[in-house]
Structure 1
C-alpha cells in the first residue's frame, strides 16, 4: 500500500512539473508534450537534454526513446528560434563484458567503455511550426554529431512527419567540419 501511494504521489509531482519551465519563463506554451528522440547512429545516447530538461531514457543505436516530461514550445514561432541539445554518446554494445564476478576484469572493461564516452552540445534551429499543432519536441541524433529537431505531432516514418532520414545511417569516414 505504501509503495502504491508513493507511486501516485510521484506521478502527481511529475505531472505538476510539466508546465513549470514555460511558466517560469513567462512564455505561453503553444502545445506541450514529452521530449522524445530518434537515434540514427551506431552510438548509444547515454543521456540527453533539451534546454536543460532531461530526455530521461538511454537510447540504443538505431532506436527511439525519451519520455522526459514535459516540453512546450511558445505559442508563436519566431524566426531564429533555437534549442540547446546536450548529450553523451557511448559504446552501444556489451562486447567483451567479463561478468560482474570477475571484479578486476570487470573494472578494466568498465574503464575502457567509459573512456569512449563523449560529451556533445549543439544549438539547433526550431523549424517553423506556424499553423501546426505542436506536441513537445523530438530530437534526431544524426551521424557526425549533428542534430535535428521537430515539434510535429506526427509519428516518425508516418506521412506528414517532417524528418525523412532513415533510422540506420552510416557515418562517413570523414565528417564535415
Structure 2
C-alpha cells in the first residue's frame, strides 16, 4: 500500500511539473519553451538555459513545446538567458535512399557538414507588471536571436517582436 501511494504521489508531481515551476511557487512565472524560425535553415535542436525546446523547427516555421522555463518574480536590469542551438539543412532534398550505400554516405556527409553549433547570451526584456507565459525564442538571419515572455501570440499587434516570418539572409552578415 505504501509503495502504491508513493508511486501515485510521484506520478502527480511529474504530471504537474510544467504547470507550476519552482519560480511560480515563489511568486515568479514560467511555462513552455517555444520558438519561431525566421531563417531558411532548420533548427535541429535548441535550448534556453539548458532547458530543451524539444522540436526540430523547419525553415520559416514555429515549434518547440519544451517544459519548463521559469523566471524570477521580478525582472532585474541585465537579466540574460543562454540560447544554444544547432542549424542544418531544412529538408531531406536529394535523399538517395539506402540501396546505394556510397550515394547514401555521400548525402549523409553533406548533411552533417552543414550542421553548425551556436550559443548566445540574449537579454531578457523587462516583464515587470506583465503576465508571463513561458518563453519564445526567435531565430533570425545572421545567427541573431531575440526572446520574449509575452502572453500574446506572434503576429498580434501587442506582440513585442515584429520581424516577418520569412526573412532574407544577407549576403554578408554584420560582425
The bucket for the TM-score relative to the shorter chain is 0.7 to 0.9
Q: Distance in 1 between the 2:99 and 2:27 partners?
A: 51
CA-based RMSD of the aligned residues comes to 2.3
Per-residue deviation, residues 46-85 of structure 1 (Å, max 9, x unmatched)? 0000000000000000000000011121110000000000
* Unpaired runs of at least 5, structure 2: 1-10
Cα distance change, pair 16–118 in 1 and its aligned pair in 2 (3 A): same
Aligned equivalent of 1:129, options 127, 130, 135: 127
Structure 1 runs (4+) greater than 3 angstroms displaced:
11-23
Secondary structure, aligned partner of 1:42:
coil
Deviation at 1:13, TM superposition (A): 6.5
**Which residue is 1:15 aligned to?**
15
More moved, 70-79 vs 117-126: 70-79
Q: Is residue 2:73 matched to residue 1:55?
A: no
Match of 1:67 among 51, 65, 68: 65
Q: How many residues align?
A: 167
Over residues 114-158 of structure 1, what are the superposed CA-to-partner deviations in whole Å (9 max), with x where a residue is unaligned? 111000000000000111000010000000000000000101001
Assess if the C-alpha contact under 8 Å between 1:88 and 1:119 holds in 2.
Answer: yes
User: Would the aligned equivalents of 1:72 and 1:135 in 2 still touch at CA under 8 Å?
Assistant: no
Mapped to 2, the partners of 1:121 and 1:59 lie a distance apart of 17
